[in-house]
Amino acid sequence: METESTTFFTTEMDSDTGSGYPEDYDFGGQVPCSKGWVRDFSRSYEPALFLLIFILGTVGNLLVVLLYTVIRHRLKTMTDVYLLNLAVADLLFLATLPFWAVNAMQGWVFGRHASGLCKAVVVVYKLNFFSSMLLLACISVDRYVAIVQVTRAHNLRRERRMLYSRVACLGVWLLSSMLAVPEVLFAEVRNTPGGETVCDLLAKTKIQTKVLVLALQVCVGFLLPLVVMTACYSLILRALLQSRSFHKHKALRVILAVVAVFVLSQLPYNGHLIAQASQLANGSITDCGVVMHMDVFGQVAKGLAYMHACANPFLYVFVGVRFRRDLLGVLKSCAGRLGAGHGKMPSVAKRPSVMSDTETTAALSL
C-alpha cells in the first residue's frame, strides 16, 4: 500500500504544473514534517518572479509576433516559421503564469468548482512548455542545414522548404498535445490537509503515472532537445572553425550563448524532476530538513527554467543585424508619423529574413 511517507514529492509534482504548494507530511507515523517555512518562501518568491517573467517575456515575444505578422507581412524562410511558432508558444505559456502567481500566493481563488479552468490552465502550460522546447530543436536543425549544408539548402525550392517547416511545426504541436493528455485526465481543484484550495494533479494519482509524467517531461522537454542542439551546434562550430568568415567569432559567441542559456536554465529544473521521479519510485528520503531544502530548490530551479521564455527573443531573433535595423527603422518611422499626426503602421523595405537560410552572418551574428 502506498502512503504519504513514501511520496514527500507529491505536491512538488505541483511545481511541474506551476502551483508548487508544498504540504506537510508524516514519515511512517513519525512527527509530521511541517513545511510552513517552505510555503512562506513560495508566497514571497514565486508571485513576484512569475509576474516579472510574464511582463518581460510578453513584451519581447509580442515584438517578434508583431514584426513577423504585421511589419514584414509574410514569412519568408523556414526559420521565420519556427521563430513565429516559438513566440506564440512562449506567449501562451507566459499567459498561465499570473494564475500560478496567484495560486502560489493565495491558493486557487477562482472557485472550488472551477475544475475546467484549472485543467485549461494546466494543459496550456504543459502544451506550450513542450512545444517551445521542441521548436528550439527544430531551429538548431534549420541552422545546421543553412550553414553546413548550404548546397542542399540552395537546391531546395523555397515552397518546399516552407512546406517542410510547416509540417515540422504541425508535428511539434501534435506531439505536445499528446504529451499534455495526462494534465487533462488528472488535473483538478482540491483541498489540501491545511485547508487551502489548490489546482494540481490528483493527489491519488498512481505513483507509476506520476513517474511516467515526469519521465516524459525530462526526456521530451529536455534530453531530446539537448541532444539535437548539441549535435547540430557541434557540427556548426566545426564548420565555422574551418572557415575564414569575418563574422566567425561573432557566430561562435551566439552559439555558445544559446547552448549555455539552455543548459543553465533547464538542467537544474530537470535534475530536480529526475530526483523527484526517483523519490516517487522508492521513497528513500525521509529527513524533514532534506525534504524542505529539496522543495525550495525545486521552486528556485522552476523559476530559472521559466526565464527561458524571456531569453528566447534575444537569443533567436534580436541578435539578427537586419532584425535590429528593421525594428529601429519601424520605431523611428512610428515616432515620425505620430509627430506628424499619422497613425498608420509603417512597413519596412523588403530584405532577406533576419536569419537567411543561406547566410551565416544573418543566421548567427550579433
Domain ranges of the chain: 4-363
Under the banding of pLDDT at 50, 70 and 90, the label for residue 177 is very high
pTM: 0.79
Under the banding of pLDDT at 50, 70 and 90, the label for residue 349 is very low
Which 3 state secondary structure label does DSSP give 201?
strand
**What pLDDT does 333 receive?**
72
**What pLDDT does 10 receive?**
35
Cα–Cα distances in angstroms (integers) from residue 15 to residues 269, 286, 290, 300, in the given order:
10, 20, 17, 10
**What pLDDT does 73 receive?**
62
Q: Is the pLDDT of residue 216 over 90?
A: no
| Polymer length in residues for the chain | 366
**What pLDDT does 54 receive?**
95
Of 8-12, 152-156, 342-346, which has the strongest mean pLDDT?
Answer: 152-156
Whole-angstrom Cα distance, residue 161 to residue 8? 49
Query: Residue 82 in contact with residue 135, Cβ under 8 Å?
Result: yes
Q: What percent of the chain clears pLDDT 70, i.e. is strictly above it? A: 71
HEC secondary structure over 85-144 = HHHHHHHHHHHCHHHHHHHHHHCCCCCCCCHHHHHHHHHHHHHHHHHHHHHHHHHHHHHH
Under the banding of pLDDT at 50, 70 and 90, the label for residue 351 is very low
**What pLDDT does 231 receive?**
94
Q: Which fold has domain 4-363?
A: Rhopdopsin 7-helix transmembrane proteins (1.20.1070)
Under the banding of pLDDT at 50, 70 and 90, the label for residue 355 is very low
Whole-angstrom Cα distance, residue 23 to residue 36? 8
Q: Name the residue among 28, 212, 201, 22 with its Cα closest to residue 118.
A: 201
Q: Is the pLDDT of residue 132 over 60?
A: yes
* Residues β-bridged to residue 190: 198
Helix (H) or strand (E) holding 295: helix 288-306
- Angle ∠(298,229,140) on CA atoms, nearest 5: 125
Query: 103 CB contacts (<8 Å, ≥6 apart)?
Result: 18, 19, 21, 109, 198, 199
